[in-house]
Amino acid sequence: MSVAVASAGARPTARGDNPGMQGAKRRWIAHLDMDAFYASVELLRYPELRGLPVVIGGGRRHQPVMQSDGTRRFARLRDYTGRGVATTATYAARDLGVFSAMGLMKAAQRAPDAVLLPVDFDEYRRYSQRFKAAVAEVTPLIEDRGIDEIYIDLSEVPGVHEPLGHDRHGGVRAVAQEIRNSVARATGLTCSVGVTPNKLLSKIASELDKPDGLTLLTLDELPTRIWPLPVRRINGIGPKAAAKLAALGITTIGQIAAQPRMALVEHFGRGYGAWLHDAAHGRDERPVVTHSEPVSISRETTFERDLHAKADRAVLAAIFTELCEQLAGDLQRKGYVGRTVGIKLRFDDFRTVTRDQTLAQAIADSAEIRRAAGTCLKRVDLSRRLRLLGVRVGTLARAGQRAARPGDQRAGSEHAAAAPADSPELPFG
Ligand code: TTP
Ligand code: MG
Ligand code: MG
């Protein structure tokens, strides 16, 4: 009837065991960024739009309509009125001058015939998880940098420091290509990857051959490939710093590199000035910081048909129980207990509502989760039909002594009930 999706929010944990470029160990760091991400995900559902200018940023009223002849009718930018902005645009739309964060009315002037599609974050989040999981199968040292990009430490991947035929860097190039292939296989999407000795340069490199590109750079290539670029290409040089640099006659990265360190310190202060100097010389020792500690764990499900709290009470109650059981299983398997329990509901008008409750004690047991989630549920007006139901446990802590071991499905169950003592009657269930 429905497919449950598990997800985990995350907070960073630093890896202290990566000394950077000091010593003998050479680093290879990749930066991977998906191409026209939201737009590319939409093209998977609407392949007839491939190659056309498409802009993502509409609302529900811009949902494509299936026509009687079996083709879809799409909203066009020229008909748009409102104050919305483009989240992204296909490369065909970018050729017409439409970019992320541009007002849709302005975009309509540049590309009136472009197709306008509504934003569907849930779908982009699903593909985000999917591409990251595909990379994790190749190598686990991944730093999450948002919905469509990651850093990957390739330094320890077997064979990465070896040549391949005439290519001195054939080993690392092959691994990077394997990662790109895995992402494509898992998602049907293309990405661009930069591979260099550090995060700073890889972030720049991944943009050099976008879309669907793989750019490998060594420090020898700094003068030819990096120094001609505008200063803004360095992640960390924003509009203000760029304007100040421009006022000093500095517009390229090479021009920063040509400045004495002290001159930059004089103009930009000790911290930022020194950082500018290092950055322009391609020096960056920051480790790849893996995200493995979840902040919350959740399960949610979108129904095949919209369900009503009264008319579909039994079905909803069963789904609700199942979600709580799955969530308890996730928590116990991963060895966490949590002190906040929340629910997420999406109604047939796509309105999303969340409620949560903080408990006196951390829990991981399905009956306790269900009870707390049930009280949250009682705080929502359930007169509309539901399309989605989700349950979340947050404020996580390690289950400690009682941490779940593999196969130990009962861990956590001895935790005292923390929800209100009287079992409330649920709106359904
Ligand atoms: P980006 O990676 O910056 O852009 P992109 O993936 O669309 O295109 P590119 O091929 O140049 O990488 O951002 C990823 C997604 O984040 C993008 O698809 C939509 C969203 N986004 C916004 O919602 N607002 C913004 O201003 C930007 C820049 C991105
Ligand atoms: Mg991108
Ligand atoms: Mg990005």
The secondary structure element, H or E, covering residue 278 is helix 270-280
Which pLDDT tens digit goes with each residue over 20-39? 444 457 999 999 999 999 99
Whole-number Å distance, alpha carbon 206 to ligand 3 midpoint, is: 10
pLDDT of 14 over the 60 cut? no
| Closest ligand 1 atom to Cα of 56 | 19
Q: What's the gap in Å between 87 CA and the centre of ligand 1?
A: 7
Q: For the chain, give every domain's residue range.
A: 43-117, 227-286, 293-402
- Taking phi over 0 as left and psi of -120 to 50 as alpha, with beta for the rest, 31 belongs to beta
Question: Measured from the CB, is residue 146 less than 6 Å from ligand 1?
Answer: no
Active site residue 149: yes
Is residue 395 over pLDDT 50?
Answer: yes
> 100 CB less than 6 Å from ligand 1?
yes
Classified by CATH at the fold level, domain 43-117 comes out as: MutS, DNA mismatch repair protein, domain I (3.40.1170)
- The answer to whether 321 and 370 have CB atoms below 8 angstroms apart is yes
Which ligand 1 atom lies nearest to the CA of residue 101?
A: 26
Q: What is the mean pLDDT of the chain?
A: 89
Q: Is the pLDDT of residue 18 over 80?
A: no
Cβ of residue 33 lying under 6 Å from some atom of ligand 1: yes
**Ligand 1 atom with least separation from CA of 149:** 2
Could you tell me the pLDDT band of residue 404, with boundaries at 50, 70 and 90? very low
38 in contact with ligand 1, CB cutoff 6 A: yes
Tell whether the model's pLDDT for residue 8 goes beyond 70: no
The catalytic position among 143, 149, 300, 368 is: 149
Distance CA 415, CA 365 (A): 8
pLDDT tens digit sequence for 54-112: 999 989 999 999 999 999 999 999 999 999 999 999 999 999 999 999 999 999 999 99
- The residue assigned the tokens 């330094």 is 155
**Does the domain spanning 227-286 belong to CATH 1.10.3080.10?**
no
On the 0-12 / 13-18 / 19+ scale of CB atoms within 10 A, 126 is middle
What superfamily in CATH does domain 293-402 come from? DNA polymerase, Y-family, little finger domain (3.30.1490.100)
Mutation pick for ligand 1 pocket among 37, 91, 209 (CB with most ligand atoms within 8 Å): 37
